Amino acid sequence: MYLIAGLGNPGSEYSHTRHNIGFKVVDEIVRHFNFLGEWQSKFQGLNISGKIPTIPDKIICIKPMIYMNRSGISIAQYANFYKIPLENIFIFHDELSLPLTKIKVKQGGGHGGHNGLKSIDQHLGKSYWRIRIGIDHPGDSARAKSYVLENFKKNELNTVDDIIQNCAEYLPMLLQNQPDSYMNKISLKLKETE
């Protein structure tokens, strides 16, 4: 089984913020691959499971419904309950240090100051996969905390939609242990739409 989590903050006031792009990707995965049924509430999160063509194992998508800095509590409960190894866990999250059209995939590593990753590291360990989705940097570190809770600008929305759709569409590459192909494919698709 694979566990795919998007990071974000619960509540409609946060739904279109930069910090919530992880939630958006997971929503699009569920829509794109036509997972059946409704989101269920469990372990302080929402979950839905389904199958993806070419991937034999079941996939469970989750969105922690506790604030970002505690999201590891929910993700660890799911991982432990379903006995999912860290190498089968994929976390989609926003990344301040990358420009809007860049995506980086890495297994393990540091949290880079991201409170969601910090919480997951603490409750689960570090060897899971991180899909870092660039959201740009405000240019001033003192502004970073408020910046991630801002909505995307109107002129960024088409790009954001393209990123979300591509992250979902090419997911099978990621699950088939082709992280470089996944990143390259998304990068090429985004260049086509520039």
- Asked if 19 is an active-site residue, the reply is yes
- Residue 74: what pLDDT? 96
Dihedral class, residue 51 (left if φ above 0, else alpha if ψ from -120 to 50, else beta): beta
Which element (helix H / strand E) includes 31?
A: helix 21-32
Dist CA 129 CA 75 (whole Å): 13
17 and 151 in contact (C-beta within 8 Å)? Answer: yes
This prediction's pTM: 0.95
165 contacts: CB under 8 Å, gap ≥ 6: 28, 32
Dist CA 126 CA 68 (whole Å): 17
Q: How many CB atoms lie within 10 A of CB 89?
A: 24
- Residue 138: what pLDDT? 86
- Residue 194: what pLDDT? 67
- For the stretch 12-19, contacts whose Cβ atoms lie closer than 8 Å and that sit 24 or more positions apart, written own/partner, are 14/149, 16/151, 16/152, 17/148, 17/149, 17/150, 17/151, 17/152, 18/94, 18/135, 18/136, 18/147, 18/148, 18/149, 18/150, 18/151, 18/152, 19/68, 19/94, 19/148, 19/149
Query: Per-residue pLDDT for the chain (194 aa), expressed as one digit of tens each?
Result: 999 999 999 999 999 999 999 999 999 999 999 999 999 999 999 999 999 988 999 999 999 999 889 999 999 999 999 999 999 999 999 999 999 989 999 998 887 778 899 999 999 999 999 999 999 998 888 888 899 999 999 999 999 999 999 999 999 999 999 999 999 999 988 888 76
Q: Which residues pair with 40 in a beta bridge?
A: 47
Tell me the domains of the chain and their CATH numbers.
2-192 (3.40.50.1470)
Name the catalytic one among 16, 19, 32, 93: 19
